[in-house]
Structure 1
Amino acid sequence: MLLLMLVATTLRLCPLARAQPLCRIRTVRTGKVFHVREQIQGDHLYFSSGTTRLMKHPCKKNIALYLGRQVFLTKNSFESSVLPFSIPTSMQVGIPEVTSAHFAGSVLLLVVNRKVYVYDYEDNSWNASTGVEHPVSHISGDNCCYSGNSFCMDISNSVFAYLHGDQISQANIYFSNTRGYRFQKYSQERQAELVGSLGGIFYFYSLSQVGLLLVDQRKAMFSYSDHPLNRSFGLPFDYNGTLDILIAPGQKGILIFWFEKSLLVSRNAGQLVNPVQVREGPHILYSSISEANITIHSVAANENELAILTQENNLYYGSLGILSSSLIKFADQNIWSEEAVLMFTDVGMLEILTPLPDPTSPAFDFQKCPVNIQAILMDPQLQVDVCKVELLQGEFENKMYTIDMNSELELTALMIPRPSTSPVPLVMVSNPHSLGLQAVIYEDGYTYDGNTKHRLNISLRQQQHWGRADPNFTSSIKRPTISTITLDIANKEISCLDLKPLTALISVGCDLEKKIVIQNEISACYNGILDPVALQDNYSYVIEREAYDPSFRGQKATEDLEVPYHYEKLGCPILVYYDTPWKPVVELWRAGKFQEVVEAEYVLLEVNGLFTYTYSLTADMALCSSQPQNWTTIAKTAGDKGPFAWDRENYVSCHDPNNNAPLRWPKVPYQILGGPTENKVVFDQRNGIYIFFISIVDPYYSYCHLETTFSVYVYGAFPLPIFPPEITIVLLTGATLLSVWLAYMIPKLLHTEQGLRVKGVWVSLGNRLTPFSRLEYFRGGCGWQLPWALQKRKADESLAQGKFLPISGQT
């Protein structure tokens, strides 16, 4: 580094004396002692193309694959000699020709002899992929380097395999979400209608789209998978030769298309593809590589930079600017060979790598020629303008953020311009079509230590939640995806090498710190109906067989069910009076802090199959324009998801004008709570505990599956009668009428001749009763009291006289 600075200083003093050399060549020969006894095991791999390639792992910077007449895999950036890469003979690959390779997380995928193989470089193990039933030549994928995010892991696990040049209408395309271990057939909508040959298939996460590259009559264009881009194609561009396609790291949607006589760049995942210009100072010399008559040998790119090595022994360098891309030619030096490749080792640091065979060892050495781009750009002969910005920094650089629905992200950055300049900061957000994601930037300036500083404030939110976008403009706002936000300077000079764009990855999806909580201000324990100590002591309760169905179909079970109560999870049940329509109060919490009361649509289901409740509204009362969903219809299509499969992904509102299901049964209960209706739960005449599963089904409230369980204790219901109410009412009415009739008729009948005879019979029957038995009955009473003692004395006197005197109150 000190030597390069000295050279740069000398050039400043004597700019015309001589051109600065590009690099100082050194040879790596270390590590051979470990290869003395090693021999190449298996089939020696080689690359099919006439030009060499070098692939760096986008996340693990020291891992790289060299593809040429020899194939080399390194884990230390070729800082030691390496044995040629080979595949075990047991794989039975036949011809060990490699046509494509891709890093997918911790594995390396190789297409060898039209088949896909997986090499785990951490475990040093090989596997043959399954599911690929037709010959393939290429694989494609991307990598996300934020390992802590589940959506990032999905990106690294997703891979396509295909045969380049197949007729696209009949092409056999395979997709894997297991890093290439297992594939399944993939077919894109309207694929059979497409005309042309298959130039590639890629998952563009910056657009939330799968893009098919169609090649026809030396023109190419992309066909996209989802709304709204599936309505038309990307703009056509020249396709001369067989273009190799590089996806620049960082999920910005930057694609690099190149062939020996062609170099094209797209910044929006193939919608617009433009040739790379060649500059000299501020002037454009050539509008394309082909016009400059350049023959490309090797291409290298990172998140923001691009370099090419030509067969004419020249090195070209450029930046992948936010608006345009161009290259400048560096000074000549004898640096090209058929085996040479380019490799970025850091920002502004480029390396020309060439493998060197050693006749005394099977391991290859590596010749390295490091290029300090910043030092080269200081050469006045290049006529590079001075960068107009001294500082551009932001704490969000290289970080990952999450934006959930109805959420906003605030980012800040600091820019210090060079005096007497007015650079324009510019924010670029990928994925605008699928997300409607918009960034609003505003700045305020202040002076500190004599320098004018600009504080840049960026507000990021989905346009639909700002009311600024047509709903038809976005592809599927309901589907989580990712986006990249980049803050850069518009049309900045190529000398702004150290002033790299500030980039952050935005996960537009579930905020894992969010959860829902059911408000429980009045519990059954608070009112003393249930004892919290008893609930924690292995408490259980019984659901009668007439009240539940284990299959959730509303049919009576064959036996009672004993249910253990999990107090640690459920706490004390919410107290609900059975005769009052009710719905839970749902709260949204984030990171332990209350956010709001949820007004979105949600559904409930009793987890044990209790069906002794219904809803206050029917489909027509809820003003449904189509037949609403219910738990029964969801269960029929749930498959292996079980009975609790109703969520935001399969919910369809009956108020949606695009829902074509006719309203055939308007009187069925409407089972969705919240949202635009005042629907509530109505409990049957039954006391007891209910445990409810709740799921937020509104697809526009949050990307999270907001679900939880809670318990309710229903009280106040009288026990159900043994007989039906109708029979009881009839019996009571008949008994009352009979009593009234008897009260009227008995006194009247007693004055008739027949009534007197009946009365005489009862008197005679009473006189025949044994006095002692009556007395014993009396003595068996509740003790002697004064009135009863008096009656006893009179009775004893009557007995002595041979008479019987009845005691009052006895029959």
Structure 2
Amino acid sequence: MLVSMLLAAATLRLCLLARVQPLCRNHTVRTGKVFHISQQIQGDQLYFSSTRAHLIKHPCKKNIALYLGRQIFFTRDNFKSSLLPLSIPASMKVGTPEVTSAHIADSVLLLVVNQKIYIYDYEANSWNTSIGIEHPVSHVSGDNCCYSGHPFCVDISNSVFAYLHGDQISQTNVYFSNTRGYRFQKFAYERQAELVGSLGGIFYFHSLSQVGVLLIDQGKARFGYSEHPLNSSFGLPFDYNGTLDILITPGQKGILIFWFEKSLLVSRNSGQLVYPVHVKEGPNTLYSSISEANITIHSVAANEYELAVLTQENNLYYCSLGILSSSLIKFAGQNLWSQEAALMFTDVGRVEILTPLPDSVFPAFDFQKCPVNIQAVLMDPQLQVDVCKAELLQGEFDNKMYTIDMNSKLELTALMIPRPGMSLVPLAMVSNPHSLGLQAIIYEDGYTYDGNTKHRLNISLRQQHHWGRADPNFTSSIKRPTGSTITLDIANKEISCVDLKPLTALISVGCDQEKKIVIQNEISACHKGILDPVGLQDNYSYVIEKEAYDPNFQGQKASEDLVVDYQYKKLGCPHLVYYNTPWKPVVELWREGKFQEVIKAEFVLLEVHGLFTYTYSLTAQTALCRAQPQNWTTIMENPGNKGPFAWDRENYVSCHDPDNDAPLRWPNVPYQILGGPTANKVIFDQRNGIYVFYISIVDPYYSYCHLETTFSVYVYGAFPLSIIPAVVTIIPLMVAMLLSVWLAYAVPKLLHTEKGLRFKGFWIHPCRRSGAARVNRTPVKRRSRAPGGVRGDPLEGLRHSHESR
């Protein structure tokens, strides 16, 4: 009885794996041969070094692909026409035309040929040799960003590494290019000389904003990382059997595929955790790895959400790359395998098996294609795949790019509809929680419509550093712009939910290009009638006297006056400032033409023409600095800073930072930082005129942008300086005042002494005589005798009496 049951179970399993309909139907592409009748292969025909065929698809331009095998084919129409094998011009003198690695970087194809890198610009149909590589290399690695022309996205597509696989990591030479491979320079990996093992690959994991180095030692491999906090330790080790090809899936989600003939591993966090892929054959059989399933991998293909494997046993396996781990499921066998066959995804849920076919008449090759509809295959009841529990998962943020600046947050929404009677568990995953502390929180609202329960998912994204939910050591690199990917999926989703792909958006945690700063100018010199706006626009110029500026910004007097042409279109009318009042500009933040806030963060000023007739109200000591503060002189003297206006958020170090160990040696120097925790202000010298200031926000925790601008002020109210030196006038004035005070005190006191009385009498008699003489000389009008009166001068008797005496 037991034997009969076992035979029945085995028979049932074979029946479940059998298919009446073939997995796919072959058809051959012979289009376009007429265009190749007169064409022959020009130059050296390239070939791939591996015995397994590879196929590389451009993740953004879906019709661009590269086939690597005994012949190499490059297509711009997704192999919809016959092609000549790819060859490199003989003028390049490559020697042995063996290709060991290839990468499509935006609009160029990079090929490692005979340990050198060559560039094929397929849009211009031109070949070039990379510059800067001085040692042999065997591999190139890179990624492509498909979201937008944002600088962060462009940098992803331009970044390429070149290296020699298998070389000792401590002494190998690694090269990096940010020009899509046209120009390389040596890449210095921190503590490289201390690392042990051989180099298995080096990659830029943009989902972590980290450079990852794969180290191989004694059959084990692990990743090392370049930036805090991951640089303090390694990823967990995993088995490294054979030479693993590493495939970075599109979309910057941090999913890596490691594969060899007897090994298939997956990492969902850029190599920190790497684990084998389970294999499912039938409803009840599950193997823990490829080797346990005893299958031999020939070709692997992956897109943002799916993985497909073609084996030498003529079987096709499929896997969904969701948030949680999943298993390969085996489809029924068909005669699909050949040495030249390769896999590629043409769309979500659609795989194609491609095989080049030579022609005995034409040099161009045909292509045999066998397309597989994954959704249709999974619906076969013989596979006993559970029905998808979800009817809908959609969000407007899917396949878009967003920017989160410091102190900003991002709100996303999605809609999830389960099948009636089914429950779903939504799960949002951020690919880069380490270096930026980005956290996603889901708020779920449920409502019923047309008999179905719908779930509105509200996702709030913000850096934990600004929520106060992260250890400072965990996010200490928050000052550095980074990237991440937000993925929304259903945790308990079945493999049959092929069309219900996860929702993904690329997040640039960095500068919001729409932000700018504006200096508040409510009272201008034109508004008060001091300057004429018409005159300022009519080639207005002004003179800066040589005693007031230094073209080298060192505070030394210049040798000649400077004539400055005023740029009205850029600066507008100057802000009006009274010279004798401490002043600080009011800085406003604007975004997309709308006012956001008044900036309270720290900033610095520098007069662009070298004027130094101003200072600051605070010193390093009165600003309560713990360490010696930076100033424009120290910034300009730093050899790493280029140009006079190099003070920004990247090189600013606060003197209030407890980690700043620069000793406070000169406490009385002017403190040149405005805003922030201090009340520092600018104090102008006794000079009227126009100042043009450069302003830069230096607070590294306010924004990832280099917020900077120029503006002008007009200082008024200062009296002209005297031509006579102040010492010459002040000293005599002070002496006269002191003498007057002494005389007012000493003279009255002296008059009461004996000498004083004699001195007083000496001056009284001359005064009387002079008074009498004035009386004698006074003409007197004769009066007529009045009745009963005396005729003549009434003083005459007195005068005669005095003369007789």
Q: TM-score, normalised by structure 2?
A: 0.90
Q: Shift in Å at residue 176 of structure 1? A: 0.8
Structure-2 change in CA distance of 1:723 and 1:323 (3 Å): same
- What whole-Å deviation, never above 9, does each CA across 1:297-326 have from its counterpart, x for those lacking one? 000000000000000111001111201031
- What whole-Å deviation, never above 9, does each CA across 1:604-654 have from its counterpart, x for those lacking one? 000110000011111111111111111111111265731011111111111
Aligned-pair identity in percent equals: 82
Q: Distance in 2 between matches of 1:332 and 1:246?
A: 25
User: Contact 1:252 / 1:430 at 8 angstroms: preserved in 2?
Assistant: yes
- What whole-Å deviation, never above 9, does each CA across 1:474-496 have from its counterpart, x for those lacking one? 25111112111000000311000
Q: How does 1:257-276 map to 2 (within 5 A)?
A: 257-276=258-277
- What whole-Å deviation, never above 9, does each CA across 1:245-275 have from its counterpart, x for those lacking one? 0000000000000000000000000000010
- What whole-Å deviation, never above 9, does each CA across 1:493-545 have from its counterpart, x for those lacking one? 10000000001111111111111111111222222222222222222111111
Q: Shift in Å at residue 723 of structure 1? A: 3.0
Q: Which residue of 2 aligns with 1:407?
A: 408
Q: Which residue of 1 aligns with 2:520?
A: 519
Q: How does 1:482-493 map to 2 (within 5 A)?
A: 482-493=483-494
Q: Which residue of 2 aligns with 1:713?
A: 714
Q: Distance in 1 between matches of 2:181 and 2:659?
A: 38
Q: Which residue of 2 aligns with 1:89?
A: 90
Q: How does 1:658-669 map to 2 (within 5 A)?
A: 658-669=659-670
Q: Which residue of 2 aligns with 1:730?
A: 731
User: Contact 1:281 / 1:385 at 8 angstroms: preserved in 2?
Assistant: no
Q: Which residue of 2 aligns with 1:775?
A: none
Q: Shift in Å at residue 663 of structure 1? A: 1.3
Q: Shift in Å at residue 588 of structure 1? A: 0.6
Query: Which residue identity does 2:409 align to in structure 1?
Result: E
Q: Which residue of 2 aligns with 1:681?
A: 682
- What whole-Å deviation, never above 9, does each CA across 1:181-226 have from its counterpart, x for those lacking one? 1111112111110110000000111111101100001000001111
Q: Which residue of 2 aligns with 1:124?
A: 125
Partner-residue secondary structure (3-state), 1:250: coil
User: Contact 1:209 / 1:224 at 8 angstroms: preserved in 2?
Assistant: yes
Structure-2 change in CA distance of 1:653 and 1:309 (3 Å): same
- What whole-Å deviation, never above 9, does each CA across 1:579-605 have from its counterpart, x for those lacking one? 111101111111111111100000000
Q: Distance in 2 between matches of 1:677 and 1:425?
A: 47
1:230 matches 2:243: no
Query: Which residue identity does 2:327 align to in structure 1?
Result: S
User: Contact 2:16 / 2:383 at 8 angstroms: preserved in 1?
Assistant: no
Structure-2 change in CA distance of 1:349 and 1:733 (3 Å): same
Q: Distance in 1 between matches of 2:594 and 2:450?
A: 41
Query: Which residue identity does 1:99 align to in structure 2?
Result: T
Q: Distance in 2 between matches of 1:320 and 1:444?
A: 27
Q: Which residue of 2 aligns with 1:277?
A: 278
Structure 1: gaps (5+ residues): 1-13, 760-811
User: Contact 1:277 / 1:325 at 8 angstroms: preserved in 2?
Assistant: yes
Aligned residues: 743
Q: Distance in 2 between matches of 1:354 and 1:493?
A: 32
User: Contact 2:18 / 2:332 at 8 angstroms: preserved in 1?
Assistant: no
Q: Which residue of 1 aligns with 2:617?
A: 616
Greater shift in the superposed pair: 644-653 or 278-287: 278-287
Q: How does 1:106-121 map to 2 (within 5 A)?
A: 106-121=107-122
Query: Which residue identity does 1:258 align to in structure 2?
Result: W
- What whole-Å deviation, never above 9, does each CA across 1:698-751 have from its counterpart, x for those lacking one? 111011111111111111111112233333111224456789999999xx9998
Q: Distance in 1 between matches of 2:218 and 2:38?
A: 54
Q: Which residue of 2 aligns with 1:157?
A: 158
Q: Shift in Å at residue 577 of structure 1? A: 1.3
Partner-residue secondary structure (3-state), 2:156: helix
User: Contact 2:17 / 2:331 at 8 angstroms: preserved in 1?
Assistant: no
Q: Distance in 2 between matches of 1:232 and 1:727?
A: 73
Structure 2: gaps (5+ residues): 1-14, 752-758, 771-805
Structure-2 change in CA distance of 1:328 and 1:15 (3 Å): closer
Q: Which residue of 1 aligns with 2:545?
A: 544
Q: Distance in 2 between matches of 1:552 and 1:38?
A: 66
Q: Shift in Å at residue 665 of structure 1? A: 1.1
Q: Shift in Å at residue 376 of structure 1? A: 0.5
Partner-residue secondary structure (3-state), 1:569: helix
Greater shift in the superposed pair: 637-646 or 224-233: 637-646
User: Contact 2:211 / 2:226 at 8 angstroms: preserved in 1?
Assistant: yes
Q: Shift in Å at residue 421 of structure 1? A: 1.1
Q: Distance in 2 between matches of 1:173 and 1:107?
A: 21
Partner-residue secondary structure (3-state), 2:382: helix
Partner-residue secondary structure (3-state), 2:646: coil
- What whole-Å deviation, never above 9, does each CA across 1:363-405 have from its counterpart, x for those lacking one? 0000000001111011111110111100000011111111111
Q: Which residue of 1 aligns with 2:655?
A: 654
Q: Which residue of 2 aligns with 1:172?
A: 173
Query: Which residue identity does 1:233 align to in structure 2?
Result: F
- What whole-Å deviation, never above 9, does each CA across 1:305-355 have from its counterpart, x for those lacking one? 000000011100111120103100001100100000001000001000000
Q: Shift in Å at residue 156 of structure 1? A: 0.8
Query: Which residue identity does 1:676 align to in structure 2?
Result: P
Q: Distance in 2 between matches of 1:242 and 1:592?
A: 55
Q: Distance in 2 between matches of 1:220 and 1:739?
A: 96
User: Contact 2:19 / 2:332 at 8 angstroms: preserved in 1?
Assistant: no
Q: Shift in Å at residue 284 of structure 1? A: 5.4
User: Contact 1:638 / 1:645 at 8 angstroms: preserved in 2?
Assistant: no
Q: How does 1:289-300 map to 2 (within 5 A)?
A: 289-300=290-301
User: Contact 2:59 / 2:144 at 8 angstroms: preserved in 1?
Assistant: yes
Partner-residue secondary structure (3-state), 1:409: strand
Q: Which residue of 2 aligns with 1:184?
A: 185
Q: How does 1:726-765 map to 2 (within 5 A)?
A: 726-734=727-735
Q: TM-score, normalised by structure 1?
A: 0.89
Q: Which residue of 2 aligns with 1:480?
A: 481
Q: Distance in 1 between matches of 2:376 and 2:235?
A: 39
**RMSD, aligned CA:** 2.2
Q: How does 1:330-369 map to 2 (within 5 A)?
A: 330-369=331-370
Q: Which residue of 2 aligns with 1:9?
A: none
- What whole-Å deviation, never above 9, does each CA across 1:388-447 have from its counterpart, x for those lacking one? 100000011111111111111110000000111111000011111011000100111111
Structure-2 change in CA distance of 1:152 and 1:741 (3 Å): closer
Query: Which residue identity does 1:231 align to in structure 2?
Result: S
